[in-house]
């Protein structure tokens, strides 16, 4: 039977390019794919925006990699050259820099919206879990990417992160040895950060994205809380939704391009490992973590650096399994929302205190 099928395929001469590439089946499925018309509208676009930002981050990162030299003596100059000497180099570096900032913001909003509308409710628990895992991988991108320009901010921020990593009981030293490759942050560390940033983490991200899309495909998009007729209208994915996404992609590219042109991405002074007077200030997304580390000192430091952040992460992943009822309406999930709001307010307060302490 199998042999017959193969023979039949061989007898039929492929005509279109898709057939020649044996992709005709997949293309047909995409062309006929019908999805909820509200999947990408002006009031529901965070997921699509994240995808657009991700594509931009990949493209801009790939362009910068052409000119980057991962060695302490040359890394800074290669970034400086790409930023200021190449045509549109500042726009591309800016898109990469502002892109990840915006990615984190939109990711937070995407998650918050999903939480409020109960998008993690059965049967979409693993859509949520895979989404949270994607969120957790973003800081790894930022941390590894920060060191690459080999400027003062990146170098000394890495020193702070390494010291926090070192404070983790039992595994701290091994982790530091693994990422740093030696007692100092030098060429080995830079090479490892570079490889992590451009190979391992992107592969992991693509894998997680694949899992995320797999669950969305299988479990469907989360509809409106109040189901009405409009929520049941479906449209073809291709070209309707795809074209909407292209418009969004174009808009975000133009906005980020304009921001990058007007405010070129920052590049500080070249790293000077002998200059211990440089005190890096925590960036906005890490202010609350920094405050936790400041609050818990000495023997308690493990609470600020590991136990509380780890607990919060575990809680975030476990949300669909803790709040497992099928009720999605926020008004009927008051306890869950009150607890989440309290946690969010505490984290926001810590961030504000951190901002006032370090930036004002």
Partner 1 sequence: MRKQKKTSLVMFLVLAFGIVFMMNSHEVIGASKQTLSAAKVKKAPAGLNDPAWKKAKVADVHFEGKESFAGKNALVATKAVYTDQEIYFLFSWKDANKSVTKGAWAYDGQKWQHQKGNEDRISLLFEINRINNFATKGCAITCHVPDGAPNAKEGKFGTATAAEKGDLWHWKAARSDPAGFADDTWLTNTSEEKGGRKSDAGKGGDTRNMTGDKSMPKYMLAPGKMLAKNGILLASDAVEIKDYSAFKAGDTLTYRMPKNPEGSRADIKAQSNYANGSWTVMLSRNLDTGHDDDVAFNPRKKYNFAMALFDDSGDENSYDSEVVTLQFKR
Please give the residue ranges that form the binding site for partner 1 (CB under 8 A): 42-44, 46, 76-77, 80, 84, 90, 97-98, 101-102, 105-106, 109, 113, 151-153, 156, 224, 255, 259, 263-270, 272, 274-275, 277-284, 359
Shortest distance, CB of residue 57 to partner 1, whole angstroms? 14
Rank residues 236 and 281 by Cβ distance to partner 1 and give the closer one: 281
Rank residues 48 and 301 by Cβ distance to partner 1 and give the closer one: 48
Shortest distance, CB of residue 204 to partner 1, whole angstroms? 25
Which residue is it, tokens 């984290």?
Answer: 347
Q: What CA–CA distance (Å, rounded) separates 25 from 213?
A: 19
Q: Residue 86 gets which letter from DSSP?
A: S
Rank residues 129 and 259 by Cβ distance to partner 1 and give the closer one: 259
Rank residues 60 and 301 by Cβ distance to partner 1 and give the closer one: 60
Shortest distance, CB of residue 330 to partner 1, whole angstroms? 11
Shortest distance, CB of residue 104 to partner 1, whole angstroms? 9
What is the β-pairing status of strands 234-236 and 34-36? antiparallel
Shortest distance, CB of residue 284 to partner 1, whole angstroms? 7
Tokens encoding 153: 């901010």
Q: With contact defined as beta carbons under 8 Å apart, do 293 and 78 qualify?
A: no
Q: With contact defined as beta carbons under 8 Å apart, do 225 and 328 qualify?
A: yes
Shortest distance, CB of residue 248 to partner 1, whole angstroms? 13
Rank residues 45 and 296 by Cβ distance to partner 1 and give the closer one: 45
Q: How far is CA 29 from CA 23, 25, 219, 236, in A?
A: 10, 6, 17, 11
Element (H, E) at 165: helix 152-166
Rank residues 5 and 43 by Cβ distance to partner 1 and give the closer one: 43
Q: With contact defined as beta carbons under 8 Å apart, do 180 and 173 qualify?
A: no
Tokens encoding 218: 């299988």
Q: Residue 240 gets which letter from DSSP?
A: I
Number of neighbouring beta carbons within 10 Å of residue 112: 13
Residue 88: strand, helix, or coil: coil
């Amino acid at each position: 039977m199998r042999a017959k099928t193969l023979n039949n395929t061989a007898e039929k001469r492929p005509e279109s390019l898709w057939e020649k590439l044996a992709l005709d089946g997949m293309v047909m499925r995409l062309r006929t794919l019908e999805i909820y018309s509200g999947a990408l509208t002006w009031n529901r676009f965070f997921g699509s925006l994240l995808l657009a930002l991700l594509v931009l981050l990949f493209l801009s990162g790939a362009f910068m990699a052409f000119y980057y030299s991962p060695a302490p003596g040359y890394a800074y100059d290669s970034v400086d050259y790409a930023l200021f000497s190449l045509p549109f180099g500042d726009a591309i570096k800016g898109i990469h820099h502002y892109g990840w900032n915006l990615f984190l913001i939109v990711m937070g909003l995407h998650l918050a919206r999903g939480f409020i509308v109960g998008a993690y409710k059965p049967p979409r628990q693993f859509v949520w879990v895979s989404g949270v895992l994607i969120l957790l991988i973003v800081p790894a991108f930022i941390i590894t990417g920060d060191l690459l320009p080999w400027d003062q901010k990146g170098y000394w921020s890495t020193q702070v992160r390494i010291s926090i990593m070192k404070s983790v009981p039992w595994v701290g030293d091994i982790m530091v040895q693994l990422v740093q490759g030696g007692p100092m942050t030098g060429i080995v560390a830079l090479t490892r950060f570079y490889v992590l940033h451009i190979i391992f983490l992107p592969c992991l991200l693509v894998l997680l994205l694949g899992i995320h899309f797999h669950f969305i495909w299988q479990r469907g998009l989360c509809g409106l809380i109040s189901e009405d007729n409009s929520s049941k209208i479906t449209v073809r994915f291709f070209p309707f939704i795809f074209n909407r996404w292209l418009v969004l992609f174009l808009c975000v590219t133009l906005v980020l391009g304009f921001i990058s042109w007007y405010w070129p991405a920052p590049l500080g002074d070249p790293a000077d490992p002998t200059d211990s007077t440089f005190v890096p200030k925590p960036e906005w997304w890490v202010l609350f973590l920094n405050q936790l580390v400041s609050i818990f000192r000495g023997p308690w430091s493990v609470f600020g650096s590991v136990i509380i952040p780890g607990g919060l992460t575990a809680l975030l992943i476990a949300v669909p399994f803790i709040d497992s009822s099928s009720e999605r309406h926020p008004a009927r999930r008051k306890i869950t929302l009150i607890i989440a709001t309290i946690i969010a307010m505490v984290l926001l307060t810590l961030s504000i205190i951190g901002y006032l302490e370090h930036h004002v």
